[in-house]
């Protein structure tokens, strides 16, 4: 239901005097709301999927960047020189 449909339905409800009982309008309005509920569920599902995909892509991007930075870091490629193993060498 868009704004035009809602405005038309509300104007018709306001202009009808006693020809159409309010119960009939309530039934019609509730039928439209049920149809709209399906659309709202589809939008909710779409938004949840977009948020989930954004979160997953963020985690994957952070992992790729971290992995590439770790590959470029030479700090741990060679073990540090320890004094314990250098004491026996002649000076």
CA nearest to 28, candidates 54, 8, 49: 8
CA 38, 39, 42, 48 torsion-angle sign? negative
pLDDT tens for residues 17-42? 655 566 777 788 777 777 777 778 88
Residue with tokens 């202009």: 15
Higher confidence at residue 89 or residue 68?
A: 68
pLDDT of residue 17: 62
| pLDDT at residue 73 is higher than 80 | yes
């Amino acid at each position: 239901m868009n704004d035009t449909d809602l405005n038309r339905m509300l104007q018709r409800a306001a202009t009808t005097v006693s020809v159409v009982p309010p119960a009939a309008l309530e039934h019609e309005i509730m039928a439209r709301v049920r149809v709209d509920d399906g659309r709202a569920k589809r939008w909710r599902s779409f938004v949840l999927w977009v948020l989930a995909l954004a979160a997953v892509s963020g985690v994957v991007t952070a992992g790729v960047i971290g992995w590439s930075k770790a590959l470029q870091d030479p700090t741990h490629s060679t073990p540090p020189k320890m004094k314990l193993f250098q004491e026996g060498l002649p000076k």
